[in-house]
Amino acid sequence: MLNRVVVNIDGFDYTVVSEDSEEHIRKSAALVDKNIQEVKASTSLSTVTSVVLAAMNIADKYYKAQDGTDGLRLQVKDYAEECARLRAEVARLKKEAKKA
């Protein structure tokens, strides 16, 4: 089901059509608007340039978060492999204990 949600970004209304929930759409729009307002508050650049810089800030945060997630995935993989090794060791030690 498609949701149609009107959001306001930088003083302009946009109709967003998406399968995402209304809450998600509004949250995304609020993030974009917040970033644009932060850039505009700290510079005297044109609206277009402010929007581009806001998009760059969002992309930067996205890629940093993605890098962090990749690091966590590797760490979880290492823990899973260690857990498998330890289970095999426990099984081996149980067998040895039964033989003794």
Mean pLDDT of the chain: 93
Q: Which of 26, 34, 24, 32 is nearest to 7 (CA)?
A: 26
Q: What is the pLDDT of residues 15-34, one digit of tens each?
A: 999 999 999 999 999 999 99
Split at pLDDT 50, 70, 90, the class of 100 is: confident
pLDDT in tens, 59-94: 999 999 999 998 899 999 999 999 999 999 999 998
Would you say 38 and 58 are in contact if contact means Cβ atoms under 8 Å apart?
A: no
**Residue span of the structural domain in which 22 resides:** 3-99
pLDDT in tens, 38-61: 999 998 888 899 999 999 999 999
**Total of domains in the chain:** 1
